[in-house]
Chains A and B, each alone.
Chain A
Amino acid sequence: MSRPRGWFRVLAVTLVLMLAAFLAVAQKNTIKIGAILAVTGPASNLGAPEAKTLQMLVEQTNAAGGLLGRQVELVLKDSGASPEKALSFARQLIEEEEVLAILGPSTSGESLKIKDVCQEGQTILLSCAAAEAIVNPVAKWVFKTPQNDAFATLWIYGYLKERGLTRIGVVASNTGFGNGGMAQLQKYAPENGIQILIAEAYDKDATDLTSVLTKLKAREVQAVVNWSIEPAQSLVAKNMRQLGMTVPLLQSHGFGNIRYVEAAGQAAEGIVFPCGRLLVADALPAGHPQKTLLLDYKKKYEDRFGEEVSTFGGHAYDAYTILAEAVRRAGSVEPAKVRDAIEGLKGFAGTAGIFNFSPTDHNGLDMSSFEMLTVKGGKFVLLKP
């Protein structure tokens, strides 16, 4: 019985070796791009659309012949919005997979945690999180694609000032995004003549905000500003109406997902918030530099995944397309060259706005990347001035 077994073993080993060799060779020719996204867990409203978008884009690239003639391989890790998982995955991606760049993470907290690791590992990081601290102070290898919360704040204050609503109440979630927003709101209030009568942070898992909103109502605020990315955004709207509060509600650019409107139902009517143009692409004038790509992304995403686009997916879209464009312009996948190419991108149209990078500006967006949107008939529409 040993002879057949012996043959079998030799054959098996040979096959395995051949497979390994084949894989090794096959690997060599792909461009590896890493992604750390919060696909499941508390930030899944951000991470899930981001992951889907990247999947879709990588498939598109590969179908069209790849990048610089090579297939793109996406190495996606689900961090579940946990910073230490993000850290562990970042190290894995940099040291083992030796990726060209890391796209994501989805949340500001995670991004700030892995910023140093990427800097040290000289790996490009294109974060999909919004906190200003990610690119300020500027780290050579770290970029981000969402707009700055400072811009959103200024847009909100502009709206309020126009209508003489100067005594406001602010509620924000206790995450990096919420804290960042709270800080910006407080920073820019005095110079815009806004008085924040009361500011409260709530837990991102909060299920009932009537108690804190009662406090705001008692102080007779003229408007409420909410800053969060969690589903609690819808709760604020609903609770306000249940309490009989009729003052305007303004949200941050974290409101850019139709699910929040659906969750809030009729309470969402009239909410005003600054946002990128993705959600109102149809209403843009013909010839607007973003219009074509926005409509294209919207159609492809919605056909493929059967759900509406969100600005979060858009951030991942921008991160990938920026990277791809930089690789093309650099003509190589040498990290330093690609990095320089990113910094040299000007007038690059993305979903969040028109990007103008530079060695001192690793976000590339400005005030004009936003429009003021509102909710009408359960849909996002441009706010008519």
Chain B
Amino acid sequence: MPLEQLLQYFFAGITEGAIYAIIAIGFNIIYNTTGIINFAQGEFLVLGAMIATSLAGVLPLPLAVAGAVAATMAVGALVDLVFIRWLDSPSVLRLVVITIGVSILLREGMLHAWDEKVRALRHFTGSEISSVRILGAHIAPQALWVLGIAGVIVAALALFFRYTLAGRAMRACAANRTAARLCGIKTRRLVTLSFCLSAGIGALAGCALSPLTQTQYDMGASLAIKGFTVAILGGLGNSTAAVAAGLMLGLLEAFSVSLLPLAYKDAVSLTVLLAILFVRPGGLFGRRESQRLKEF
């Protein structure tokens, strides 16, 4: 394969991979604080993009994006408050089913609030035909935005978890919830915060992605599956590994197109998902024991 083509696949791969990583991180944040897998994670991306396209009609783009992120965070908090908060030690089965129900509800809500038409946010810089040459490959400036924003999110979260009180409290929750409570940490509030955070980064990623992929009300489910695959691949709860896993999956999918018919591209990630679940549920970077210790 000529270098130019190789690079082209490479860029396509890391751009998609970055998005998968962000979704996976969203999963991880909620999982670490609550032990819940939030199946509605994909919907946060779509919701953020939808709200942003509506706001972009009246506000300048940066404000529209900020507004969308804020609104989605509010929705995330609402999801927790209405559906999750007052459950008393629910079984995993119940939680799984509830979050699935919530994701469907959000999706249908978006359908009836916005309608079925495809929308796209304006490109942050340039337009639909802008193209940047990097080492012979062509890449849309928006893809660079996606990579940039993903990088900023990862860095900001790392700082948040390490240096802020709330962040450290969330880490404590992840390690041992009861102990955290005993230390006086208000775990319930942190749960809401984690939903907010996940929703926020999801919305931001969704806005960055919208100019490239266009947004439709039902795109959330497939995004969630990819994100989950990456989260599991890296080891549930491990956000640094999620970044690596995300890029890996993205590259795998992009290069698979050169070998397989395009129709099977999604089957690739699904096969990876099943393979990992069957063979090494702890993830590539997880340890065997850590998986058993986690309560199911």
Contacts and interface: CB of A to CB of B under 8 A. Distances in A.
A202 B263 contact: yes
Interface stretch (B156-164, B187-195, B214-222, B277-285): B214-222
B294 interface: no
A206 B263 CA distance: 9
Contacts of A91: none
B8 to A, nearest CB: 5
A364 B199 CA distance: 53
B2 A202 contact: no
Contacts of A218: 2, 5
Contacts of B262: 200-203, 206, 211-212
Given A242-B129, A242-B139, A266-B129, A201 B118 contact: no
A214 interface: yes
Contacts, number: 95
Nearest to B117: A259
Contact of B128 (A41, A48, A231, A265): A265
Contact of B219 (A44, A202, A207, A242): A207
Contacts of B111: 40
A174 B8 contact: no
Contacts of B139: 242
A235 interface: yes
Contacts of A299: none
Interface in B97-116: 111, 115-116
A243 B131 contact: yes
B209 to A, nearest CB: 8
Interface stretch (B22-30, B81-89, B173-181, B253-261): B253-261
Interface string B120-149: 100000011111010000111000000000
B213 A208 contact: yes
Interface string A182-224: 0000000000000000001111011110111011001000000
Nearest to B139: A242
A234 interface: yes
Contact of B261 (A201, A210, A243): A201
A231 B118 CA distance: 7
A266 B128 contact: yes
A240 B255 CA distance: 18
B9 interface: yes
A208 B212 contact: yes
Contact of A241 (B120, B131, B213, B216): B131
A244 interface: yes
B16 interface: yes
Contacts of A266: 127-129
B116 A243 contact: no
B116 A44 contact: yes
Contacts of A265: 127-129
B12 interface: yes
A41 B218 CA distance: 9
Nearest to A206: B262
A238 interface: yes
A266 B261 CA distance: 29
Given A203-B262, A212-B257, A241 B117 contact: no
A316 interface: no
Given A207-B214, A243-B131, A214 B266 contact: no
A354 interface: no
Contacts of B213: 207-208, 235
A201 B254 CA distance: 16
B265 interface: yes
Given A207-B214, A244-B138, 5 more contacts: A40-B116, A207-B212, A208-B213, A212-B262, A265-B127
7 contacts: A40-B116, A45-B118, A201-B261, A234-B118, A241-B128, A259-B117, A265-B128
Interface of A: 40-42, 44-45, 48, 174, 200-203, 205-208, 210-212, 214-215, 218, 231, 234-235, 237-238, 241-244, 259, 263-267
